[in-house]
Amino acid sequence: MKPARPGRRAGIEVLILVVLALFAGLVLAMHAHRWLAELWPAPAPQIVLVAGPRDHESAHFTHCHGRVRINCIVDGDTLWYRAEKIRLSDINAPEVSEPACDAELELGEKATARLLELLNQGRFSLVPLPGRDADVYGRKLRAITRGGRSLGEVLVAEGLAERWIGFRRDWCD
């Protein structure tokens, strides 16, 4: 067996280093938005909530179960109202269907229960997100207000959700 030529071995080492550098760059690019957001948080988008003179929507909400979903709560920021799926446009709540950790599940269950309680307290308004009716999943984007105050902001004030800043944060840190 012939020993590898010195020039050829150096070329392979350079190739390996280039591949590793490209992989590291890809990993950095995939996570850079989170790291940059922690260093320089973007200002929360300004959503102007304008409610009518009176809140006119109402329903009795339950937790969503099964395929038929009319007026029910999926989690702290998603619900079905009159058989239409709605995503609260002004907040992000922890996941309950696929949580990343036990802490996220626990907080998500609290946010879900609190949203259920808030919606069942009386009439409310659905306020469309200016310039965007639905998200990429087809959910209607709406803020839900009562007396001009966002119910999502109530969840934020109680530590059960965060203001929507354009991407989901990690609830497990």
CATH of the domain at 81: 2.40.50.90
Residues in Cβ contact with 121 at an 8 Å cutoff, skipping those fewer than 6 apart? 146
Residues in Cβ contact with 13 at an 8 Å cutoff, skipping those fewer than 6 apart? none
Same domain (yes/no): 71, 108: yes
126 part of a folded domain: yes
User: Taking 60 as the threshold, does the pLDDT of residue 43 lie above it?
Assistant: no
Same domain (yes/no): 95, 130: yes
| Tally of domains in the chain | 2
Would you state the pLDDT for residue 27?
Answer: 58
Same domain (yes/no): 32, 112: no
The C-alpha atoms of residue 114 and residue 75 are separated, in whole angstroms, by: 10
Same domain (yes/no): 36, 100: no
Query: Average pLDDT in the 38-66 region?
Result: 68
Amino acid 120 reads N
Would you state the pLDDT for residue 54?
Answer: 83
The C-alpha atoms of residue 22 and residue 20 are separated, in whole angstroms, by: 5
Same domain (yes/no): 10, 88: no
Same domain (yes/no): 76, 145: yes
171 part of a folded domain: no
Same domain (yes/no): 66, 129: yes
173 part of a folded domain: no
Would you state the pLDDT for residue 1?
Answer: 58
24 part of a folded domain: yes
Among all chains, which residue has been given the structure tokens 């969840």?
155
User: Residue 13 is part of which domain span?
Assistant: 1-41
145 part of a folded domain: yes
Same domain (yes/no): 21, 74: no
State the pLDDT confidence band at 51, using cuts at 50, 70 and 90: very low
User: Taking 60 as the threshold, does the pLDDT of residue 44 lie above it?
Assistant: no
The C-alpha atoms of residue 149 and residue 21 are separated, in whole angstroms, by: 50
User: Taking 90 as the threshold, does the pLDDT of residue 52 lie above it?
Assistant: no
